[in-house]
């Protein structure tokens, strides 16, 4: 059966050119980037070049880029790297930020509005003299809603507080420029933009004091110990360049496809509720709740119809808890338990959207006759 993959916020397929760029670094160029011999220097040159190119894409300097083992590690490095004291985050963060902040001794979780956005005035009120870090994601993985990052970062700068953003769902989808946003720390993860899994980066503004999460060798300028994942880094940066080249056209195309899907759902399925901001969102994501359904029923039913979607966060699979993101936005428990995220990507077409629409209509109808 033909499959339609509509879960790109969980992960994306590896871009063929990114795979091609990686292969030599698994095979011939297997050196350790810290070794002084020719094999090591080869790997070092690849990692250094990747760093310069990624810095260029972010509008950063090469010395400000630290390669990590993915989005979770980048987020944890930022959150645990600041001194003891108060941290502020939002209640709709990815668990990589939310659970890390819960491990700190003193954390404030800002509420969000019905559209999922943080109110800058709430942030102003929450900052205290002992606040060490504010961490607010730039785009939400479940709803796609984007936050007013420039405004939030400016408040922090004015108050002398470090500002981190989890840009894992933004990078590759919308322009991400560290100086335009005015952030001090920023996380990305390769596998969310058609790069390999298990590799990411943390931007650390020059002059920012941050304790490492991992201790060992002096890799990454003593910011992150451990032999560099040379093939992964090469693949990530190749994927980042491809995403940057495609971003404008692909963003416009995906926004149209998701709007078509959203309009179709609203017009053909009564009792459907759109979650998240309808316009201030990344172009590939829409989220809907369907009255009288559960996400297990929706996910399994759509999977049988050949369509891969998610209830929101992939990490929530196996847990019957409703999405913390939707609950924080004031969605009822019942509707939060009936939510589906559609996150489209490069391979999706108009025909896919029509098929998704037909399948959702069918599955919702079937679930409602059972319930
Ligand atoms: C996927 C994701 C992460 C985690 O990244 P990994 O590379 O899977 O560890 C963090 N934040 C957001 C918003 C994500 O979507």
Q: Which helix (H) or strand (E) holds 39?
A: helix 38-58
Mean pLDDT, the chain, integer? 96
Q: What are the structure tokens assigned to 3, written together?
A: 């499959």
Distance between Cα 141 and ligand 1 center (Å): 8
Distance between Cα 365 and ligand 1 center (Å): 33
> 325 CB under 6 A from ligand 1?
no
User: Which burial class, exposed, middle or buried, applies to 174 when counting CB atoms under 10 A from its CB (0-12, 13-18, 19+)?
Assistant: middle
User: Which burial class, exposed, middle or buried, applies to 140 when counting CB atoms under 10 A from its CB (0-12, 13-18, 19+)?
Assistant: buried
Pocket test for ligand 1, best of 95, 166, 167, 232 (most atoms within 8 A of CB): 166
312 φψ region: left (φ > 0), alpha (ψ -120 to 50), beta (else): left
Protein residue whose Cα sits closest to atom 15 of ligand 1: 141
pLDDT the model gives residue 24: 97
Distance between Cα 98 and ligand 1 center (Å): 12
101 is catalytic: no
Task: Kindly report the pTM of this predicted structure.
Answer: 0.97
pLDDT the model gives residue 321: 84
Q: Which residue carries 């110990």 as its tokens?
A: 225
Distance, CA of 113 to CA of 290 (rounded, Å): 21
Q: Which helix (H) or strand (E) holds 180?
A: helix 178-181
Residues β-bridged to residue 224: none
Pocket test for ligand 1, best of 69, 169, 285 (most atoms within 8 A of CB): 169
> 188 CB under 6 A from ligand 1?
no
Q: Which helix (H) or strand (E) holds 327?
A: helix 324-328
User: What's the angle, vertex CA 234, arms to CA 231 and CA 235, rounded to 5?
Assistant: 85
Protein residue whose Cα sits closest to atom 6 of ligand 1: 71
pLDDT the model gives residue 313: 53
User: Which burial class, exposed, middle or buried, applies to 159 when counting CB atoms under 10 A from its CB (0-12, 13-18, 19+)?
Assistant: middle
Each residue's pLDDT, cut to its tens digit, for the chain (371 residues) gives: 899 999 999 999 999 999 999 999 999 999 999 999 999 999 999 999 999 999 999 999 999 999 999 999 999 999 999 999 999 999 999 999 999 999 999 999 999 999 999 999 999 999 999 999 999 999 999 999 999 999 999 999 999 999 999 999 999 999 999 999 999 999 999 999 999 999 999 999 999 999 999 999 999 999 999 999 999 999 999 999 999 999 999 999 999 999 999 999 999 999 999 999 999 999 999 999 999 999 999 999 999 999 999 986 544 555 678 999 999 999 999 999 999 999 999 999 999 999 999 999 999 999 999 76
Q: What are the structure tokens assigned to 316, written together?
A: 């929530």
The separation between CA 346 and the C-alpha centre of its own chain, rounded to angstroms, equals: 17
């Amino acid at each position: 059966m033909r499959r339609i993959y509509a879960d790109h916020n969980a992960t994306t397929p590896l871009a063929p050119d990114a795979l091609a760029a990686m292969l030599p670094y698994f095979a011939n160029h297997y050196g350790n980037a810290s070794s002084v011999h020719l094999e090591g220097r080869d790997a070092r040159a690849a990692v250094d070049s990747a760093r310069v190119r990624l810095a260029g894409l972010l509008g950063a300097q090469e010395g400000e880029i630290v390669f990590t083992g993915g989005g979770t590690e980048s987020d944890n490095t930022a959150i645990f790297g600041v001194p003891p004291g108060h941290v502020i985050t939002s209640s709709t963060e990815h668990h990589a930020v939310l659970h890390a902040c819960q491990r700190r001794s003193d954390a404030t979780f800002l509420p969000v509005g019905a559209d999922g956005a943080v109110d800058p005035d709430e942030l102003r009120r929450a900052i205290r003299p002992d606040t060490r870090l504010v961490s607010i994601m730039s785009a939400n993985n479940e709803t796609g809603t984007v936050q007013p990052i420039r405004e939030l970062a400016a408040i922090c700068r004015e108050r002398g507080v470090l500002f981190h953003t989890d840009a894992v769902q933004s990078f590759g989808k919308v322009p991400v420029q560290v100086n335009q946003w005015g952030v001090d720390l920023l996380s990305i993860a390769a596998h969310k933009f058609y790069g390999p899994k298990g590799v990411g980066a943390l931007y650390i503004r020059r002059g920012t004091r941050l304790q490492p999460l991992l201790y060992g060798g002096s890799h990454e300028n003593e910011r992150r110990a451990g032999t560099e994942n040379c093939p992964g880094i090469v693949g990530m940066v190749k994927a980042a360049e491809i995403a940057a080249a495609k971003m404008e056209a692909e963003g416009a195309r995906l926004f149209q496809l998701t709007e078509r899907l959203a309009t179709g759902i609203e017009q053909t399925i009564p009792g459907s509720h759109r979650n998240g901001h309808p316009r201030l969102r990344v172009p590939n994501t829409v989220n809907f709740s369907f009255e009288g359904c559960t996400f297990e029923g929706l996910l399994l039913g759509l999977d049988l119809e050949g369509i891969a979607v998610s209830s929101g966060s992939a990490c929530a699979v196996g847990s019957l808890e409703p999405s913390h993101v939707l609950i924080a936005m004031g969605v009822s428990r019942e509707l939060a338990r009936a939510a589906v995220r559609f996150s489209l990507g490069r391979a999706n077409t108009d025909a896919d959207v029509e098929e998704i629409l037909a399948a959702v209509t069918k599955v919702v109808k079937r679930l409602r006759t059972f319930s």
